[in-house]
Structure 1
Amino acid sequence: MKKFAIIVAGGSGTRMGAPMPKQYLEIGGKPILMHTLERFFVAVPDSELLLVIPKNDFSLWENLCVQYDFQVKHKLIAGGNSRFQSVKNGLNSINGEDGLVAIHDGVRPFVEIDVIVNSFEEAAVRGSAVAVVALKDSIRKLTDDGKSVYQERQYFRLVQTPQTFQLKKIQKAFDVSELHTFTDDATVYEHQGWQVSLIAGNLQNIKITTPEDMEYAEYLLSK
């Protein structure tokens, strides 16, 4: 089956407090996005990589590719006003194909190769494959009356990306109006009444959002 990877990076990076969106900031000698694209290229060399960024950032990204001599082949797709719309634009750019598609946050450059490969294998069989990790800490649920209630953490998982799907099914799932309950691609898929299949992610697969995340990213690269 033909494989695609949609790398979504439409954020403005306001929480980072940097002069440019976080996806273009440098770690380990090159922008975060380049690390992410390289992970997918190494994991699935025959996949088609689709990078979804704001249309206004196209020239910035092209200049960065020249500056860093970035050679990983990919196609640029204009993002939308929300993550849902950006993913939808990426899916709509794939015409008349049958296959599998991984959807991944551009600012998660530390996803393990095995997680990416496993996501495609699982999605081919089950229709979907969503990377998750178990909780380490105890958790409590806040109630409407201001109290808190203990929750059994073994019944919960932290959701990551990639979230990989059979292409035609996820395209059908995204052919709807956006709802506030769509917090990720899995919830869009689930809205069709389909069961989401979970796979093991990796703890280092952080979403770089704050300056503290940048410091941790540099530490991970140093290892």
Structure 2
Amino acid sequence: MSNPSPVIIEPNRPANASVIWLHGLGADGYDFAEVLPSLNLPDDHGVRFVFPHAPIQPVTINGGMTMRSWFDIRSMDLVNDVDSAGIRVSCHQVYKLIAQQRDSGIAEQRIVLAGFSQGGLIALHAGLSYDHALAGVMALSTWCPLVEQFYLHRQMPIFIAHGQQDPVIPFALGAQARDDLIAKGYNVAWQDYPMHHQVCVAELTAIGQWLSQVLALRSEEDSTNSEEA
């Protein structure tokens, strides 16, 4: 059975930027579609949001149960027992999504890759291995094994956020991803929150501010004040 088309939410004006947002293990493309109002983006922001669905496949750590998954989770050793082949396959799926946005008229430097948990790992791996620098990468409640392979796009903005009490992806793994990327010279903005494996209101506000910054979004009021100055 073919994978369904992504959930796409168009802005109120013609799109001039895109955010491709990948869900976590066992969820689907609808998972984050409802949080967009909480980002508090300007009404005229022009950002298209694309929420793809991971393929349905067996997940070893869940007894081989089939579910939407970007790659296999084989054990609790999330750093050393890594499905690198599955990660590569999903990265190529993301490259195709980027190409679709590019073909629709959105420049690569106006595309953000985002993801939560397993999807955040793919966003990092795809964004840091893609041929061209994107507007940025947003990785929520995730981890980043195989960081030694990254060397591209060190100036590209990266936003990483994690829950301090996360029982699924331990906080230490999120902090390690931050530290490893900074050590390699990457431009990382970090936030952490008193929460579990989830998102919170303060985090969504920070995400909206970061997106506004990397995509240079301005509200009508900001634009008017700039013109008057």
Instruction: Pick the TM interval, shorter chain.
Output: 0.3 to 0.5
Which of structures 1 and 2 has the larger relative contact order (alpha carbons within 8 angstroms, sep 6+)? 1
TM-score, normalised via structure 2 length: 0.33
TM-score, normalised via structure 1 length: 0.34
